[in-house]
Amino acid sequence: MSTEEILVGAVAYDAKVVPIWDGIRAHFREEGVAMDFALFSNYERQVDELLAGHIDVAWNTPLAHVRVQKRTEGRSRSLGMRDSDRDFHAKVIVRKDAGISSLEGLAGKTLAVGSRDSTQARILPLHFLKEAGIDVTQVKQLAFDTDLGKHGDTGTSELDVLTALKDGRAQAGVVGDLIWVLEQAAGRIDTSVLEPLWTTPGFDHCMFDALPTLAEPKVQAFQRGLFAMKWENPKHRRILELEGLKEWLPAREAGYASLRAALDAIDYW
């Protein structure tokens, strides 16, 4: 690995990841920051390669982020996140004809859930339901373990949950609030059939992680390049739209405590 060049790892959860990172690399170069990227097929591999020092920075899901922090004993560096990564929520959506008017009403019903490594469609909603006093063993789970290793990035399992609800294979389901609102805004949800029942407490999502040993000039160069991307710039906007954000923001750590507690509880580190 070049001593000058910053090597960023990202997971190829979709074909669009290539134009996203080609575009970000071109932008960094215009900003005078030498950067290249390496794509991984899953977050477990990416985290291993970061910890082995084979990449400088990893673009991580919340699950990968807290795992990096645990494995570095809290010494890893968090370099930035999307505006859309802050204040994420999960939603419990129900069929209006299922007669579920409270969380207690989920007992005995079928609850569609996303991939077991998806923070927003499985890990945290089930955790928050338990915290709210719901015995989830009394709920029949219909699980969509699609794209394991991608930590729910593809959104496929959340769309599977919505489809199962629409088709009546489940009476309730959990998805992230982002996909719930974006699907509604695009006119793809029949609100005469589905309605939200409950919103979880907030949590934060993806993060750029680096090892504590990453040289300070590289940290600064990376952040300078990242935060120079602007929504009003047509070239940047295309990349930002693909990556699902309007603005890169500084890192904050407060939004990951619930995920750590959930992983402790289900022993999923």
Name the residues that contact another protein, by CB under 8 A: 83-84, 86-87, 89, 91, 177-178, 180-185, 187-189, 191-192, 195-196, 199, 231-234, 237, 246-247
Whether 49 and 139 have beta carbons less than 8 Å apart is answered as no
DSSP three-state, residue 112: strand
Using the minimum distance from each CB to another protein, give the nearer residue, 15 or 186. Answer: 186
Using the minimum distance from each CB to another protein, give the nearer residue, 109 or 237. Answer: 237
Residue length of the chain: 269
Q: Among candidates 23, 13, 12, which has minimal Cα distance to 241?
A: 23
Using the minimum distance from each CB to another protein, give the nearer residue, 181 or 242. Answer: 181
Q: How far is the CB of 200 from another protein (least distance, A)?
A: 10
Q: How far is the CB of 213 from another protein (least distance, A)?
A: 35
Taking CA 80 as the corner, what is the angle to CA 32 and CA 220, rounded to the nearest 5 degrees? Answer: 35
- Distance between CA 19 and CA 255 in Å, rounded? 29
Q: How far is the CB of 184 from another protein (least distance, A)?
A: 3
Using the minimum distance from each CB to another protein, give the nearer residue, 39 or 251. Answer: 251
Using the minimum distance from each CB to another protein, give the nearer residue, 149 or 196. Answer: 196
Q: How far is the CB of 180 from another protein (least distance, A)?
A: 7
Q: Among candidates 27, 50, 31, 21, which has minimal Cα distance to 220?
A: 31
Q: Among candidates 83, 89, 158, which has minimal Cα distance to 117?
A: 158
Whether 177 and 104 have beta carbons less than 8 Å apart is answered as no
Q: How far is the CB of 235 from another protein (least distance, A)?
A: 8
Q: How far is the CB of 85 from another protein (least distance, A)?
A: 11
- Distance between CA 6 and CA 164 in Å, rounded? 43
Using the minimum distance from each CB to another protein, give the nearer residue, 220 or 233. Answer: 233
